[in-house]
Structure 1
Amino acid sequence: MTSSLRPSRSTARCSPPGADDSLFTTRFGAPYRHDYYGARIFVQAAGRAGLPAGTTPHDLRHHYASVLLAAGESVVAVAERLGHDNAALVLSTYGHLMPDNEDRTRRAVDLAWSRVTATHSDHEAATGPAETVPNQTLKRNSTTSPSAMT
């Protein structure tokens, strides 16, 4: 957290956490009214931090979730950090920001096949070339799972 967003020592000393563990409370431990917090406290702190005018706490929440997902954090972990009971809301809200699964899955398959090819090449070098079968193809077996090949 930038120093300009941290409560000062005097404010922290005078403002105990709320009964619900809220960090931003009045000197009596009660939560600030929404309008007072937004207009007086957050806007001033955001300005001191150099954030664009009009930035809201909700904007920072979205930014936080987006940064975590872009860094590869799991949807479940992001949901936990945001206080959601499950990941469905995070997935529906931020799914479009997640790294492209098509590229990731393609790389995973390419890596697996490159290992198979390397193992096959090592084996062939030691034992000689294998016999090939003409017109050999992989076909999807419609009676089994999509991953079953014949």
Structure 2
Amino acid sequence: MTWNSTFKARAKPLARAGLKRRERGASKASFHTQTLMRKAALKTRKKRVTVAEGAKYLAACRGEPCFLRVPGICPLNPDDETVVPCHENSIEAGKGMGIKARHDRTVPGCFRCHHWLDQGPVGKERKKLIYSNAMAAWMPVRARKMGLEMQEAA
């Protein structure tokens, strides 16, 4: 088997392209401009809340009883050690796909109530009602605990 029988020979050889000089600084200038535009866009982005800024709200929930008190779910044990900060699950609170709500929208809740709030079988309206009642009860307690009474009254 020869090369000619396996592969088809070119009718015309490949043409060579001539060498061309680049214009001076043309590619560097466009690259530099694009980099500056990207850096300007980064500077104008909204500052995200850091963990340290929201930690004071999470710390306020430590050592508190469950404020969610879901009927039929919560054992109403004041010494329950499973109480954690429960974030609100509404869009108004900043919740989104893969995004947790703001830390100032937290309420202390036992793990049973927290599970019910996040994965419970009831509708959103019922969950929103339970959460809003818990938030109304928690706000004055949190304000006293964090020393925010003057700010809320003003």
Using structure 2 for the length normalisation, give the TM-score. 0.24
Larger radius of gyration: 2
Relative contact order, higher structure (CA 8 A, sep 6+): 2
